[in-house]
């Protein structure tokens, strides 16, 4: 034991501990627990550089570099997990107060674990920093040369923004184009139109499980009035990327359109064709500043959670709390019935946003007792929500009093789930879409 203690006190060993082990230990633990860990090449290199900088900088300066590297690590991981561009992640940090982060035990555990590790790292740095100036840096650099490529090989998904940034050609696809819905924008037929972008509705790898969604949208007798088709398309990025993909046909970020209009986006075309363009979202319009840029892609009217909230009404979600998506389906259906001009409406759902903690009580699946069809509980709760949403749309538009409506339903991205076993239930890089076309 005395020999081990003496060995751990060697400057070169301490340098490895603070430069490689402690900054990355939380992610090593997560990986061993089966939790998804994004490729962290850039943060790993930052921590190595911070340790090496002890040779040239005072200890307080090195501590500041470590804290800066930690901030970069958090932003970088968010970009990889949630499919955001780095600029969008930094922009989104201002909205973190809108979320009930403490509702997620995993987020709390991560925050406490990382805080404890960096507290220990800074303590070791403060206590031994002066003695590490002339420590042998070769072991740290050699281990770093092994750690970086190992991290890339093990943790990089086959479909991710990481590869896109390296120039790998990932073809652009949209449900608007693949389903043929875009032709209705080019030549409107005067019918109401509804587009629903469904939070995290990826494509199940098992056709039997995917069949649960197929059955849901074909329920309630809707096939007597509508032809239902379905398919799959690839995606890159998060929810705002999906909105730009479907409505503007681009992979551009939404950020430039906070201040300027995008007249080539589909809602503008529909407005020129005499349609009333409206967009609905049960969460706050401040999230990603949709209250600012939705008008600039052509939605004349917007209704968000803060506009729709009725005191005493049931809310959905846990970390993301707001109006229940199925209720909004009913509200939109009622407005379509009463409309005197053709409607082009958009519903952005959010109740199935990760982390999904609370079962909303729809019970299409027995999530409380590990339903054999979808055994992963979080995925089961999400699938239960998708089934409720799809059945709600089928029920509302199967109503004989409902005017014929052209409907497109598409997922924004696959679920950014933490557990690798849960992620493996979905086909990488793909989302589902459904189109309902009124029968003649």
Residue 276 pLDDT: 98
User: Chain centroid to CA 209: how far?
Assistant: 21
Closest Cα partner for 52 from 129, 162, 167, 146? 129
Query: Chunked in runs of 10, what are the mean pLDDT values of the chain (440 residues)?
Result: 51 86 85 74 89 88 90 79 64 56 70 88 88 83 84 64 50 93 94 97 95 96 96 91 95 90 95 97 92 97 92 83 94 96 97 82 87 88 96 97 97 87 88 95
User: Chain centroid to CA 427: how far?
Assistant: 15
User: Chain centroid to CA 172: how far?
Assistant: 19
Residue 328 pLDDT: 97
Rounded Cα distance, 160 and 116, in Å = 30
Rounded Cα distance, 216 and 32, in Å = 37
Contact 333, 397 (CB under 8 A): yes
Residue 295 pLDDT: 97
Angle at 215 between CA 212 and CA 216, to 5 degrees: 85
Peptide bond into 355 cis (omega under 30): yes
Residue showing tokens 């627990």: 33
**Dihedral angle computed from the Cα positions of residues 39, 44, 46 and 48, in that order, rounded to the nearest 10 degrees:** -160
Give the relative orientation of helices 41-52 and 22-32 as an angle to the nearest 10 degrees.
150
Q: Kindly state the tokens that stand for 89.
A: 């992640």
Closest Cα partner for 48 from 148, 144, 155? 144
Contact 352, 198 (CB under 8 A): yes
Rounded Cα distance, 2 and 154, in Å = 36
Rounded Cα distance, 419 and 354, in Å = 12
| Ranges assigned E (strand) in 207-285 | 226-234, 276-281
Give the relative orientation of helices 41-52 and 59-82 as an angle to the nearest 10 degrees.
180
Rounded Cα distance, 278 and 98, in Å = 24
Contact 81, 416 (CB under 8 A): yes
Residue 89 pLDDT: 61
According to DSSP, the β-strands at 343-348 and 405-411 are unpaired
CATH of domain 175-438: 3.40.720.10
Domain with CATH 3.40.720.10 in the chain: 175-438
Residue 15 pLDDT: 86
According to DSSP, the β-strands at 405-411 and 202-204 are unpaired
Residue 165 pLDDT: 47
Contact 340, 188 (CB under 8 A): no
Contact 192, 336 (CB under 8 A): yes
Q: Which residues of 121-150 are buried (b: 16+ CB within 10 A; e: fewer)?
A: bbebbeebbeebeebebebbbeebeebbee
What is the DSSP code (8-state) at residue 20?
Answer: I
**pTM for the predicted model, two decimal places:** 0.80
Rounded Cα distance, 404 and 225, in Å = 8
What is the DSSP code (8-state) at residue 298?
Answer: T
H-helix segments, 20-160: 22-32, 41-52, 59-82, 86-92, 105-128, 138-155
Q: Kindly state the tokens that stand for 160.
A: 């991710």
Spatial CB neighbours of 229, under 8 Å, sequence gap ≥ 6: 179, 434, 435, 437
Q: Kindly state the tokens that stand for 269.
A: 């075309």
For residue 186, the tally of other CB atoms under 10 A from its CB is 9
Contact 415, 199 (CB under 8 A): no
Residue 167 pLDDT: 42
């Amino acid at each position: 034991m005395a020999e081990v203690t003496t060995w751990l006190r060697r400057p070169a060993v301490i340098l490895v501990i603070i430069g490689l082990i402690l900054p990355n230990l939380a992610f090593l633990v997560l990986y061993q627990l089966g939790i998804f860990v994004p490729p962290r090449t850039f943060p790993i290199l930052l921590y190595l550089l911070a340790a090496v900088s002890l040779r040239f900088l005072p200890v307080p300066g090195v501590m500041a570099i470590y804290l800066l590297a930690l901030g970069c690590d958090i932003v970088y991981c968010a970009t990889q997990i949630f499919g955001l561009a780095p600029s969008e992640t930094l922009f989104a940090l201002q909205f973190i107060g809108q979320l009930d982060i403490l509702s997620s035990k995993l987020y709390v555990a991560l925050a406490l674990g990382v805080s404890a590790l960096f507290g220990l790292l800074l303590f070791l740095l403060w206590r031994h920093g002066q003695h590490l100036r002339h420590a042998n840096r070769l072991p740290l650099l050699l281990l770093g040369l092994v750690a970086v490529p190992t991290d890339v090989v093990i943790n990089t998904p086959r479909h991710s923004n990481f590869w896109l940034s390296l120039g790998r050609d990932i073809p652009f696809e949209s449900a608007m184009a693949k389903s043929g819905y875009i032709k209705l924008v080019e030549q409107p037929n005067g019918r109401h139109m509804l587009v629903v972008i469904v939070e995290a509705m990826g494509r199940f790898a098992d056709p039997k499980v995917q069949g649960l969604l197929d059955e849901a949208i074909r329920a309630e007798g809707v096939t007597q009035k509508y032809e239902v088709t379905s398919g799959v398309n690839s995606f890159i990025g998060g929810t705002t990327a999906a909105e730009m993909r479907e409505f503007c046909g681009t992979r551009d970020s939404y950020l430039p359109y906070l201040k300027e209009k995008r007249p080539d986006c589909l809602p503008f075309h529909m407005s020129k064709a005499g349609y009333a363009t409206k967009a609905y979202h049960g969460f706050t319009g401040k999230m990603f500043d949709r209250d600012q840029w939705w008008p600039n892609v052509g939605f004349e009217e917007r209704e968000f959670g803060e506009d729709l909230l009725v005191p005493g009404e049931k809310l959905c979600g846990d970390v993301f709390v707001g109006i229940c998506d199925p209720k909004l389906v009913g509200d939109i259906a009622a407005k379509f019935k009463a409309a005197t001009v053709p409607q082009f409406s958009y519903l952005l759902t959010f109740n199935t946003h990760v982390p999904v903690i609370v079962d909303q009580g729809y019970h299409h699946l027995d999530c409380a007792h590990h339903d054999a069809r979808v055994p992963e509980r979080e995925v089961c709760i999400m699938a239960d929500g998708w089934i409720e949403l799809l059945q709600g749309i089928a029920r509302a538009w199967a109503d004989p009093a409902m005017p014929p409506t052209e409907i497109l339903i598409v997922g924004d991205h696959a679920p950014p789930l933490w557990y690798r076993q849960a992620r493996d239930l979905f086909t990488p890089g793909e989302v589902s879409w459904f189109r309902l076309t009124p029968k003649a």
